[in-house]
Structure 1
């Protein structure tokens, strides 16, 4: 019985690991029923597409794993973490608002993942970015209204799953109206249930209707729904709302349990147990939990069954849902890469005002910190032109004017509305040089009076489309 329980417990885990070669402990866990793995560029799992394909092939030789990754397109990319994504993110797709284009983009992202041997994508993000100062969603959202996000949620799920990759929509019940990052704390969505249904839940309902194979919970509190418990650990959110009220019967995946919003006070093994009790099926452990931790988490789950806290039937239900997902993944589907659609979408998303084509401009990019989900992915116009990178906190208007001399200026910013130093320097510079072109590669909430261009994302193709419009290519 204990061996059977250990196997059931392992079936609910998505383990991280380091390197581009699977370690021996991981292969042994896969042989003993581990549910799958989560790949991270920062763990060295994605050296390049060929290396990733070799890695995933080795994983499959040891078992039947679900192989997951965060490949949203746009700012959040793991496949293209060294260059930036070939596909624009959700904000750009929402601005274009062409559902067939969104479906094509996600279908090609799915084809990229299949080529690399990945079978589940932690995407799309279907949060409604109703808080413009949101530090973690921003350009990852299709928009700020439930209608736009819901329509594109359905289209993106359809595209990914046509390629044979399981979509995992996130972050239930909605991370868009938060001012904090759940990697670092427990955000609060202060919405009553009526507003929650009208705004946050509408895209999830659309994704469920579109047949999403998986859905990811968020480590946030909705006081009227979850009390003081994060949604990932809340029976009211997962079993009550998602299962019973919305009727979702697919796999529920937790966001990374190493995040402060889930395990900061209780530790990862206890968070794993509470998530299963709440109704989750597949536990994303995060990026830093390895061999000893996997054994500790498995033991905690088995102990919770023996103690009567976690019904064995609940654990069996979770494992059964994971098995059904693996059955769906086993059906072969063939689609072709369509990388041209990524550049097409990025070009169509560009919005420009004023005279933006300048002869031999000095291009200056103001540093902007990326959030934890984005990671250290390069951005800016450097692939197409010489670009000077400066810290807005230590750079003055006089510095920029002296550097420019008589040359026209292009100033590249990212989410200037959220970064006071960027915005202040841009406003000071454009007051002195009103011919300056400002390129916003985040959300264009703040817009200068001078000529400006918005890309709605900082992916490689967003920069390419901007460089074309500026006459830099």
Structure 2
């Protein structure tokens, strides 16, 4: 059993991807080929230009499960066309922490019932196209305020709280027939002690399989993430995940032959020493193979057939608070901040006519070195200013700059393309929320802003 997870940098265009897939299948007809195509901010197929799909937060804001089903069917059709048989999507975490740096707009929302109904619709749409879905990140990453790529986040809430908040979408995914579920590298003391959920038998075996009744394949999130292997290394993290009940090991993007061999050696050593039962390995292999063995053939339908519905979802997700001024070639100020590792360096922004100024915003507390509010106001002159950001509420420098601009310039519009927090700057003319930074989100916002142009 072998598989590959493809990333954006593996893909030049669809023709190159189809050739790569053919080469991999020629080497092993049963290979599992997966990628993280969530639509929205996290895209691999459209890594170089931005996703044409609105993303989960926008779909949740539109709150039409049929649009969600159509969106994920479109994603599935695109994947199936190039030979991908597993999509590490949808993200079904209930994002209840505004400060969450890794989930945010990847979530359908903060309400468990809303997330659950869109989870079921997404899985139905994706798997109807012949691609296995994967609900993530079990038992729920939405209440975290740190990034599991960089450290091990801790959720101190009780299991009772998590049962009501985080688990319902996973139950909805299971009821919808999801083929895979991905683990979270998070610590829940009541369940996992000091270990991450990925290495916890109480989470993967007792809770997920015993209580929720999941019989499909459990795949780990990337083991290179520090939340999984920061203190113990990937070989040991792999063994612990298998012991806990994981079936497929995701090694992440930073791999080489030596690393793969070290992980294999660690598993073999644990099996030969009796620590890791061979029966557990055989069970894992069987579940992995079964997850893609009987996928139905793809219907003769193009993803373009569902694009109209998808555009509707992106437009419905845009929220406008305040009064939009009659914009005419405004000064666009884009607040540039680093993306998390899951997103990567996908282009984002607002396709609106006007002069563009990109302002670097620090995430580590270093002094702000960009143009001042006075500088930007002077550049704008008598033009309006449109400030575009992602998760603006999380960055003190961004908040301060916007508030200073609004205090000195007559017409400032803020376009928030990240998670919609409660923060609103005083003095702005309008605050626009897109619920995502994909190409579809940007186009929908630009369409609404352009409708006010003189």
Q: Confirm or deny that 1:347 pairs with 2:315.
A: yes
Kept after mapping to 2: 8 A contact 1:92/1:456: yes
Give the drift of 1:328: 2.1
User: Map of 1:437-452 to 2, 5 A cutoff?
Assistant: 437-445=413-421, 446-449=423-426, 450=428, 451-452=430-431
Report the secondary structure of 1:68's partner residue: strand
Kept after mapping to 1: 8 A contact 2:329/2:355: no
Report the secondary structure of 2:133's partner residue: strand
1:402 is aligned to 378
Q: How big is each residue's C-alpha offset from its partner over 1:142-190, in whole Å with a ceiling of 9 and x where there is no partner?
A: 1011111111111111111011111011000000011111100000111
User: Map of 1:306-455 to 2, 5 A cutoff?
Assistant: 306-329=272-295, 331-334=296-299, 335-337=301-303, 338-356=306-324, 357-382=326-351, 385-392=354-361, 393=368, 394-445=370-421, 446-449=423-426, 450=428, 451-455=430-434
Give the drift of 1:302: 1.7
Kept after mapping to 1: 8 A contact 2:198/2:220: yes
CA distance in 2, matches of 1:194, 1:159: 31
2:17 is aligned to 52
2:440 is aligned to 461
1:247 is aligned to 213
Report the secondary structure of 1:417's partner residue: helix
Give the drift of 1:355: 2.8
Give the drift of 1:448: 3.1
Report the secondary structure of 1:317's partner residue: helix
User: Map of 1:188-267 to 2, 5 A cutoff?
Assistant: 188-267=154-233
Higher mean C-alpha displacement, 374-383 vs 456-465: 374-383
CA distance in 2, matches of 1:464, 1:93: 15
CA distance in 2, matches of 1:265, 1:391: 33
Kept after mapping to 2: 8 A contact 1:381/1:387: no
Q: Confirm or deny that 1:38 pairs with 2:15.
A: no
2:365 is aligned to none
Kept after mapping to 2: 8 A contact 1:361/1:410: yes
Give the drift of 1:384: 5.1
Give the drift of 1:82: 1.0
Report the secondary structure of 1:215's partner residue: strand
**Which of the residues 259, 268, 277 maps onto 2:234?**
268
Report the secondary structure of 2:386's partner residue: strand
Aligned residues: 437
CA distance in 2, matches of 1:316, 1:88: 40
Kept after mapping to 1: 8 A contact 2:330/2:353: no
**Which of the residues 169, 181, 186 maps onto 2:135?**
169
2:27 is aligned to 62
Kept after mapping to 2: 8 A contact 1:256/1:284: yes
Report the secondary structure of 2:401's partner residue: helix
Kept after mapping to 2: 8 A contact 1:88/1:462: yes
CA distance in 2, matches of 1:355, 1:145: 29
Higher mean C-alpha displacement, 289-298 vs 121-130: 289-298
CA distance in 2, matches of 1:234, 1:353: 45
Kept after mapping to 2: 8 A contact 1:384/1:467: no
CA distance in 1, matches of 2:263, 2:329: 58
Report the secondary structure of 1:284's partner residue: coil
User: Map of 1:122-133 to 2, 5 A cutoff?
Assistant: 122-133=88-99
Compute the TM-score of the two structures, normalised by the length of structure 1: 0.90
Kept after mapping to 1: 8 A contact 2:32/2:292: yes
Q: How big is each residue's C-alpha offset from its partner over 1:340-393, in whole Å with a ceiling of 9 and x where there is no partner?
A: 333221111111123324122122212122111111111112475542212253
Unaligned stretches of 5+ residues in structure 2: 362-367
Higher mean C-alpha displacement, 145-154 vs 334-343: 334-343
Give the drift of 1:55: 0.5
